[in-house]
Structures are given as C-alpha cells and as structure tokens.
Amino acid sequence: MKIGFIGLGIMGKPMAGHLIAGGHEAYLNSRSGVPADLAAKGKPCANAKEVAQKADVVFLMLPDTPDVETVLFGENGVAEGLTKGKIVVDMSSISPIETKSFAKRINELGCKYLDAPVSGGEVGAKNAALTIMVGGDEETFAKVKPLFELMGKNITLVGGNGDGQTCKVANQIIVGGTIAIVAEALLFASKAGADPAKVRQALMGGFASSKILEVHGERMIKRTFDPGFRIELHLKDLSLAVTGARALAMSLPITAITQQLMNACAANNGAAWDHSATVRALEKLANFEVGQKSGSR
C-alpha cells in the first residue's frame, strides 16, 4: 500500500519506520525535516499536499489541534492533494470537537477520516506496542487495521469520528491522575524514612500495582526525567479534558489538581520534562525529594 506519514518526531519516526518495515511504500514529510534513516527507505516530500497526492492512506502524528488543522487545510496542505477514495488517519491527540469538524470537511472531499490517537509513549512506539483508540466507520477501520497492527497491539474501534479522541482524553485523565498519586505515595514513604525503591517493589505485588507505578515510579526514584512524554503535551491533553468538562457541565476536580501540578512544573522550566516529573511539584510543597534521606534538610 502507498502510505503517507506527516510528523516524524519522538513518536512519529518509529511509527513510520514500522510501516516501512512492513513493506509499504512511504511518502514522508516533517516540519523538522525527514530523518536520514527514514529518507533512505522512504520518499521525502516537499509538503503535505505532495504526500496526499502520492499516498492512498495519509497518517498524521502532530503535537496539537492547530498543527493538525494547518497540515490538513493550510496552504499546500493535505486537503489540496486528496482525490476521492483516499483515507486520512490522524494519530495525534487533539480536540474531539475539532476532530468531528475536520472529519466532515475531509468527507466532503469524497475521502474517509479516522481519528486514531495512541497511548504507550516513546517505548510503545519503538516496540510497535501502542494502544490505538479509533473513531470512524467500520469499513474504513477494517481497511486500515492491518497498518495499525504494524504499530500497535491493542487496537479498538471506539465509535464514530471524535470518539477515538474522547477515549484518548479519558486515557490522559487516568494517566495524569495516577502519576500524581504515585508521586504522593512515594514521596510520603520517602519522607517517613522508608526506602522508596523497596516500597515500590512491595506495592508492585499488590492491588496498588500499575504500569505507572512500574515505569514512572522507577523514573521518580532514579530521577530520570528525560521524555518520554513531555509535560507540555500532557498539559495540552488535560486542558482538553477540563474544557470538555466545562462544555458538559461537569466537574473533574482530580484532573484539575493534576493540571495545576503540571503547570507548576512548567513554570519552573519543566515543560519539556517527562510527565513523571510531576513529582517535582509535590517535592517543592514537601521541601523533600523522593530518595532523599529523611532529616537531611
């Protein structure tokens, strides 16, 4: 199949690599340029329009809603290169409301649209183990599913256009809140004088066990905060959650607190830290760091 991939950053690069390794002819474009190793295997394009002209299925993996809108509908955008019957698959994490609008505009060109945000971070992208949450019609999903299977393992058609993005926002609510609570627990244990590494090990065998405790708990203990998934990107997702909640006339108090903790990190030059570094905001409040010996301050 002729595929296009636009957005070759931390996540997009390995995802595109898996599609190429699966034997598909790939047309590539990225704001920062096509990485040399992918350029050697695929076909770099000057702009999104050229990608859409040459590919049957066009994938997007971009930072935020305005980026997707520009790439789709801006000058030399995807929409200008589409012809009837082509498929656009947005794997970015963006606004569910705007996604429905984007899908309608692409459908009006005689093309199909799937929103297919992912979870699993850089590790999941590199290992082709992403969770992929899809919004769109069943027929288009069935056509694209073999391509999804080259990038992920848990692939679910959630519902119509926009429902994939809604599912991703729900995912980010859970992930953000769990990071914050794991941070609180390890900080509490550490300040009380217990070894946080052994506390984490013990908790991994019980009901409190989670992927966040396993992966991000270890990051907190070892102080390894290189992204991963940047705080600024998680803040964008939590903003979608809080804005959506307002539109639905409901409250997300835990999500709002998590958002403020991440805001505090961003205010302390931490926007590019991994989201596990949310623990640093709590450490400031406690005047204590996970792993520090109790009484050393």
Please give the pLDDT value at position 228: 81
Omega prior to 176 cis, within 30 of 0: no
Nearest to 16 by CA among 54, 47, 44: 44
pLDDT in tens, 189-245: 999 999 999 999 999 999 999 999 999 999 999 999 998 889 999 999 999 999 999
pLDDT tens series, the chain, 297 aa: 999 999 999 899 999 999 999 999 999 999 999 999 999 999 999 999 999 999 999 999 999 999 999 999 999 999 999 999 999 999 999 999 999 999 999 999 999 999 999 998 888 999 999 999 999 999 999 999 999 999 999 999 999 999 999 999 999 999 999 999 999 999 999 999 999 999 999 999 999 999 999 999 999 999 999 988 899 999 999 999 999 999 999 999 999 999 999 999 999 999 999 999 999 999 999 999 999 887 655
CB 121 within 8 A of CB 229: yes
Residue 173: alpha-carbon gap to chain centroid? 12
pTM to 2 decimal places: 0.90
Strand 118-119 to strand 130-135: parallel, antiparallel, or no bridges (unpaired)? antiparallel
Spatial separation of the C-alpha atoms in residues 213 and 56, rounded to whole Å: 41
Please give the pLDDT value at position 227: 86
Tokens of 165: 């993005």
Catalytic residue of the set 13, 43, 49, 168: 168
Please give the pLDDT value at position 296: 58
Rg (CA), the chain: 20
Print burial letters for 143-166: b (CB count within 10 Å at least 16), e (below 16): ebeebbebbbeebebbeebbbbbb
Spatial separation of the C-alpha atoms in residues 270 and 12, rounded to whole Å: 23
Please give the pLDDT value at position 295: 64
Residue 60, helix vs strand vs coil:
strand
Spatial separation of the C-alpha atoms in residues 164 and 170, rounded to whole Å: 10
Spatial separation of the C-alpha atoms in residues 45 and 208, rounded to whole Å: 48
168 is catalytic: yes
From the DSSP assignment, how many helices (H) and strands (E) are in the chain? Answer: 14, 9
Nearest to 90 by CA among 106, 74, 108, 110: 106
pLDDT in tens, 22-32: 999 999 999 99
Please give the pLDDT value at position 130: 97
